[in-house]
């Protein structure tokens, strides 16, 4: 295999590993952001509804209805959107710096080059195995992923109780 | 050592007092005395650093991860503030470890937010150990601190030396097992590495030393002990390592249960590795788990054990290799 | 292994549908048999593949924003991508369809059309 080919193959492995690992984290992060935003919008919506109920003759009624409609639409949109479908998740977002780091003064000496490429493989090996490891641990210990609220809910459910919705 | 999440989260009044008094971790290092029972007041777990904060709260508290180059070092920053190791040093690597800085950044930027697990930051954990060991090995280091984080060079070396007696690469299985296939594979993989390591240690010691192999066919079940000369050579080798490399060596030996794997890993990442010690990290991990490979093949894979271990050793070996590498 | 099983079942279904077509009630039973076939059969719809590949190309920030991406777009000539960019783009296409393109094949993929062609020929793609 020519040197250039070798460099490209090694680079591809690294990109593959990095994309897979950051995709997972980003989807989780985005889902959480969505959840938070939905909660916020819902809270605002409830506020509006209450305001309307307490003062049905208000002059700003038309405006309120409009706002309410707007909020509902945004909540719907957030609920139906699936971050895992985003195409930009298929790309590694820090690739220009990665390239600069790897290819800046690429050594011409055969043994130095092969050591650097080996180093890149070590990094992709790490990223890949770290991801697989985390996924396995999560699969075998589902409790790890739950937050406190979820744990309390499930603990209550075990003895037939239900945590009140607040 | 960075023990993310490995301790129970305890409320420590010292931290609060310190905060109200405007106490800053970068200026003062305090040592716990007469701590109340059950309260973790060890210095390495209570200094106000990002790594400790994350180990106590297990929550993400930043929005931007970046690296910053100043002078000869690249520092990892969260919201423009440098991340600090458990002992309060900046989490920074030298410029000749650029990709390592990138790996650190990737690690922090890609944490799934909700909760951070003890195993989420292996590179950070190892680099922190490297930095804190370097810090604690300075002549003016506080001896109490050195003892607390287990940074005494001789102690570490002697602990690690014990792995050479029962080294994974020096224990050969009986030929009656697995129709002799395991033993054949061990002979093929281990023996060249063993003689290369003997040569390397002999060069280090300036005299011929040999490694005592524990052959199940010859010795049956018994302990193994290396000759004094070999031990001396191995110690001499460990003394020649930088504190940074010693931390990497420690990590590798603890993951592979093999002194020789530590030596092989560092040699492969050294400036001019000798050709008979060359091997990829995948092969190193394979050597360290050869017996398991045959057991899984025969008896099947045990879920939540073999599959997890397979990944675990590979992530650890690769992490050690990335931290060891230097341009 | 699983996918080969599925492929096996596709063939079985196909013969079933062919046979039922001979019967007088064919008009009804055919539609009910044909639709599940789609989900299992090797072919993702070619137009869908093309549209998805184009979407991925468009999402690549190294693609010049003004560039029109069509089924005929060539990565290097039309988009100005170098070999490293192409590597990143191909990895993205791999991710989109959940496949791994062998290195030998990947070297030959230089345009949207060639990528679509490969994905369409890969039974694992989904």
Each domain of chain B, given as residue ranges in start order, spans 13-148, 153-324
- For domain B153-324, give its CATH number from 1.10.3580.10, 1.10.1060.10, 3.40.30.10, 2.40.50.140: 1.10.3580.10
Per-residue model confidence as pLDDT tens digits over B183-200: 999 999 999 999 999 999
Burial of C32 (0-12, 13-18, 19+ CB in 10 A): exposed
pLDDT band at residue B143 under the 50/70/90 scheme: confident
What is the predicted pLDDT for the residue at B289?
95
Residue in B102, B268, B311 nearest the CB of A101: B102
What is the predicted pLDDT for the residue at C98?
93
- Which residues in A lie closer than 8 A to residue C83 (C-beta atoms)? 8
Q: Is B308 on the interface with A (CB under 8 A)?
A: yes
What is the predicted pLDDT for the residue at B113?
56
Q: What average pLDDT does the structure give for chain A?
A: 86
From residue B209, give the alpha-carbon distance in Å to each of B110, B133, B160, B238, B253: 47, 30, 19, 16, 21
Contact A90 C93 (CB under 8 A): yes
Contact C95 A88 (CB under 8 A): no
Interface of B with A in 96-115 (CB under 8 A): 98-99, 102-103, 105-106, 109-115
- Which residues in C lie closer than 8 A to residue A90 (C-beta atoms)? 56, 59, 91-93, 95-96
DSSP code for B76: E
pTM for the predicted model, two decimal places: 0.79
Q: How far is B320 from chain A (nearest CA, A)?
A: 9
What is the predicted pLDDT for the residue at A148?
77
- Give the three-state DSSP class for B81: strand
Task: Report how far residue B42's alpha carbon sits from residue B85's, in angstroms, rounded to the nearest whole number.
Answer: 15
Closest CA to B203 of B134, B107, B274, B124: B274
* C and B touch per CB criterion (3+ pairs under 8 A): no
Contact B103 A126 (CB under 8 A): yes
**Would you name the residues of C annotated as active-site residues?**
82
What is the predicted pLDDT for the residue at B256?
95
Q: How far is A22 from chain C (nearest CA, A)?
A: 12
Of B54-63, B106-115, B136-145, give the lowest mean pLDDT range: B54-63
- Sequential DSSP letters for B243-302: HHHHHHHHHHHHHHT-HHHHHHHHHHHSSS--GGG---HHHHHHHHTHHHHHHHHHH-PP
- HSE on the CB side for B18, CA within 13 Å? 17
What is the predicted pLDDT for the residue at B13?
34
What is the predicted pLDDT for the residue at C1?
41
The answer to whether B13-148 and B153-324 have equal CATH topology is no
Q: For residues B92-100, give the mean pLDDT.
A: 94
What is the predicted pLDDT for the residue at B327?
84
What is the predicted pLDDT for the residue at B32?
40
Kindly give the parts of chain A with pLDDT less than 70. 1, 56, 58-60, 166
Give CA A101 to chain center in angstroms. 26
Contact C88 A15 (CB under 8 A): yes
- Which residues in B lie closer than 8 A to residue A132 (C-beta atoms)? 311
Q: How far is C58 from chain A (nearest CA, A)?
A: 9
Contact C92 A19 (CB under 8 A): yes
Query: Which tokens sit at A59?
Result: 């002059």
Name the residue of chain C whose CA is nearest to A98's CA: C84
- Which residues in A lie closer than 8 A to residue B119 (C-beta atoms)? 133-134, 137
CATH homologous superfamily for B13-148? ATP12-like (3.30.2180.10)
Residue with the larger pLDDT of the pair C27 and B300? B300
Closest CA to C68 of C58, C53, C80, C77: C58
Residues across chain A: 166
Q: Is B63 on the interface with A (CB under 8 A)?
A: no
Kindly give the parts of chain C with pLDDT less than 70. 1-43, 64-67
Could you tell me which chains touch chain A, where touching means 3 or more CB pairs under 8 A?
B, C
Chain pair A-C, CB pairs under 8 angstroms: 48
Residue in A119, A125, A147 nearest the CB of B114: A147
Handedness of CA B236, B239, B241, B244 (dihedral sign): positive
Contact B312 A133 (CB under 8 A): yes
* C and A touch per CB criterion (3+ pairs under 8 A): yes
Q: How far is A15 from chain C (nearest CA, A)?
A: 7
**Is residue B28 scored above 70 in pLDDT?**
no
Q: What average pLDDT does the structure give for chain B?
A: 83
Q: For residues B33-42, give the mean pLDDT.
A: 50
The percent of residues in chain B predicted with pLDDT above 90, rounded, is 58
Contact A122 B110 (CB under 8 A): no
- Which residues in C lie closer than 8 A to residue A19 (C-beta atoms)? 91-92, 95
What is the predicted pLDDT for the residue at C61?
80
- Which residues in B lie closer than 8 A to residue A144 (C-beta atoms)? 115, 117
Contact A19 C83 (CB under 8 A): no
What is the predicted pLDDT for the residue at C101?
93
Of B102-111, B272-281, C65-74, C76-85, give the lowest mean pLDDT range: C65-74
Closest CA to B266 of B285, B287, B252: B252
For an interface test with B, the pick among A28, A31, A92, A123 (most B C-beta atoms closer than 10 Å) comes out as A123
**Is residue B324 scored above 70 in pLDDT?**
yes
Per-residue model confidence as pLDDT tens digits over B214-259: 988 888 777 888 999 999 999 999 999 999 999 999 999 999 999 9
Task: Report how far residue B159's alpha carbon sits from residue A28's, in angstroms, rounded to the nearest whole number.
Answer: 41
Contact B312 A127 (CB under 8 A): no
Give CA B240 to chain center in angstroms. 18
Name the residue of chain A whose CA is nearest to C84's CA: A8
């Amino acid at each position: 295999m020519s040197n250039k080919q070798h460099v490209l193959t090694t680079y591809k492995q690294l990109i593959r590993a990095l994309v897979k690992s950051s995709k997972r984290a980003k989807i989780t992060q985005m889902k959480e952001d969505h959840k938070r935003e939905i909660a916020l919008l819902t809270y605002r919506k409830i506020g509006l509804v209450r305001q309307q109920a307490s003062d049905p003759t208000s002059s700003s009624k038309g405006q309120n209805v409009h706002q309410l409609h707007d909020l509902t639409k945004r909540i719907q949109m957030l609920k139906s959107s699936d971050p895992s479908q985003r195409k930009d998740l298929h790309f590694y977002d820090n690739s220009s710096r990665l390239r600069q780091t790897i290819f800046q003064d690429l050594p011409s000496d055969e043994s130095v080059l092969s050591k650097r490429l080996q180093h890149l493989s070590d990094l992709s090996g790490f990223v890949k195995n770290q991801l697989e490891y985390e996924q396995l641990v999560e699969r075998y210990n589902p409790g790890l992923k739950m937050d406190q609220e979820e744990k309390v809910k499930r603990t209550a459910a075990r003895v037939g109780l239900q945590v009140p919705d607040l | 050592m960075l023990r993310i999440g490995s301790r129970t989260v305890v409320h420590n009044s010292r931290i609060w007092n310190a905060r109200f008094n405007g106490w800053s971790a970068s200026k003062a290092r305090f040592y716990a005395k007469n701590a109340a029972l059950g309260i973790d007041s060890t210095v390495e777990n209570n200094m106000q650093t990002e790594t400790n904060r994350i180990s106590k709260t297990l929550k993400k508290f930043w929005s931007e991860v970046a690296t910053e180059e100043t002078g000869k070092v690249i520092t990892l920053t969260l919201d423009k503030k440098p991340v600090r190791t458990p002992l309060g040093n900046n989490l920074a690597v030298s410029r000749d470890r650029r990709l390592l800085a990138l790996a650190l950044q990737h690690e922090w930027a890609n944490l799934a937010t909700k909760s951070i697990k003890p195993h989420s930051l292996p590179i950070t954990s190892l680099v922190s150990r490297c930095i804190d060991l370097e810090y604690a090995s300075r002549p003016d280091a506080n001896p109490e601190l050195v003892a607390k984080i287990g940074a005494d060079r001789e102690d570490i070396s002697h602990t690690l030396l014990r792995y050479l007696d029962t080294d994974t690469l020096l224990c050969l299985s009986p030929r009656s097992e697995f129709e002799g296939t395991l033993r054949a594979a061990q002979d093929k993989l281990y023996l060249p590495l063993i003689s290369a390591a003997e040569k390397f240690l002999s060069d280090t010691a300036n005299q011929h030393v040999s490694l005592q192999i524990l052959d199940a066919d010859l010795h049956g079940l018994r302990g193994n002990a290396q000759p004094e000369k070999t031990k001396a050579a191995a110690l001499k080798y460990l003394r020649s390592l930088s504190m940074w490399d010693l931390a990497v060596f420690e990590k590798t030996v603890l993951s592979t249960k093999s002194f020789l794997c530590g030596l092989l890993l560092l040699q492969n990442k050294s400036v001019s590795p000798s050709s008979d010690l060359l091997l990829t990290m995948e092969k190193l991990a394979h050597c360290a788990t050869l017996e398991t490979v045959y057991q899984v093949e025969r008896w099947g894979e045990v879920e939540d054990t073999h599959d997890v271990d397979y990944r675990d050793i590979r992530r650890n070996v690769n992490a050690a290799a990335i931290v060891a590498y230097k341009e | 292994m699983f996918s080969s099983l599925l492929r096996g079942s596709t063939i079985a279904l196909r013969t079933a549908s062919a046979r039922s077509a001979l019967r007088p009630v064919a008009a009804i039973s055919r539609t009910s048999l044909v639709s599940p076939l789609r989900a299992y059969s090797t072919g993702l719809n070619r137009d869908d593949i093309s549209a998805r590949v184009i979407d991925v190309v468009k999402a690549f920030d190294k693609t010049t924003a003004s560039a029109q991406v069509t089924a005929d777009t060539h990565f290097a000539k039309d988009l100005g991508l170098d070999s490293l960019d192409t590597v990143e783009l191909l990895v993205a296409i791999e991710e989109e369809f959940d496949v791994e393109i062998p290195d030998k094949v990947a070297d030959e993929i230089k345009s949207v059309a060639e990528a679509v062609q490969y994905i369409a020929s890969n039974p694992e793609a989904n």
